[in-house]
Amino acid sequence: MLTYTEPQRTPGPSASPLPRHIAVIMDGNGRWAQQRGLPRLAGHRAGTENIHRVVRATLERGVPYLTIYAFSTENWSRPREEVRGLFGILAEVIHRETSALHKQGVQIRHLGSLEGLPAPLRGSIVEAIELTKANRRLVLAVAFNYGGRREIVAAVQRIVREGLSPEEITEELVSARLSTDGLPDPDLIIRTGGEVRLSNFLIWQAAYSEYYATPTLWPDFGPEDLAEALAAYCQRQRRFGGLAGPPTQPAPLPTA
């Protein structure tokens, strides 16, 4: 049950401008279907169709990065028919939507692992990435077979294989070994479906993200809901550990 309510704030001079990067945990497809007496896959289909609407609204707003969480490494624990059905729906949607996205200047990226996915699905993901790689209007990153912990483990493995010394390991270097390399950290993370948790999504990158949770189920989340989330975000004051108000001179670092 969602217990958090957005506090009423008066936007001041330090309120945030539009986010550069919005990340969405698209949750609630199963409940959407259940409420209608439909099979869960019908909810996944409706949810997948909804991506289109939200991408369009994001393009209209001029936000340059959108990440969507579509399938987690933990979602493999669902019944086999649901997992297979989801893979089929994703393959269909890539097939149907890629050329329209390409024409709109959308660059498609994949976050997560292609390992274990059926070969035709892997092929269509790779093709969509290749076709759209030069587009610059909007980067649409699809987290599919993605888990934040797995991503960090893979980054550590790469670093060890590269034989780097402890002194060379910085936050920037770790970020550059994640599948989000080149994307700014998400400014705003929206979760639909009423839960208030990350479920292993972008756990490194979300260090200073603003959260917005809504009980609206993903297939029903439309441009007005996005507008509401953005309005809430714009009233937040991001402090990144500092103090409110204009930036002050940082204190000197302690000397050893």
Query: Which is closer to ligand IPE, CB of 21 or CB of 40?
Result: 40
Site for Mg ion in 26-85 (CB under 5 A): 27
Work out whether the CA dihedral 73, 35, 189, 87 comes out positive or negative: positive
- What is the C-alpha separation between 43 and 28, in angstroms, rounded? 8
- Which of the following is catalytic: 29, 50, 75, 185? 75
Look at residue 19 and give the partner it binds from ligand IPE, Mg ion, none, a contact being a CB closer than 5 to 8 Å depending on partner kind: none
Minimum CB separation from Mg ion for residue 46, in Å? 14
Burial degree of 107 (CB within 10 A; 0-12, 13-18, 19+): buried
Q: Tell me which residues touch ligand IPE (CB under 6 A).
A: 25-31, 69-72, 75, 86, 193, 195, 197, 199
Closest separation between CB of residue 220 and ligand IPE, Å? 12
* Distance separating alpha carbons of residues 61 and 187, to the nearest angstrom: 15
Q: How far is the CB of 202 from ligand IPE (least distance, A)?
A: 11
Could you tell me where the DSSP H helices lie in 7-77?
A: 29-35, 40-61
CB of 24 to ligand IPE, least distance (A): 9
Q: Is 105 left (phi over 0), alpha (psi -120 to 50) or beta?
A: left
Residue 225 annotated among the catalytic residues of the structure? no
Nearer to Mg ion, 194 or 223 (CB): 194
For ligand IPE, the closer of residues 124 and 199 by Cβ is: 199
Residue in 67, 16, 20, 55 with CA at minimum distance from that of residue 184: 20
Token couple for 38: 């439909």
Single out the segment in contact with Mg ion by CB under 5 A; choices: 20-28, 42-50, 112-120, 175-183. 20-28
Q: Which is nearer to Mg ion, 27 or 210 (CB)?
A: 27
Interface region with Mg ion, contact rule CB under 5 A, candidates 24-32, 203-211, 214-222, 247-255:
24-32
Q: How far apart (Å, rounded) are the C-alpha atoms in residues 148 and 72?
A: 9
The structure tokens 């000397």 sit at 255
Choice between 70 and 111, CB closer to ligand IPE: 70
Q: Which residue has the tokens 């958090």?
A: 4
Quick check: is 181 catalytic?
Answer: no
Q: Choose the contact partner of 127 out of Mg ion, ligand IPE, none; CB within 5 to 8 A by kind.
A: none
Q: Which residues are catalytic?
A: 27, 75
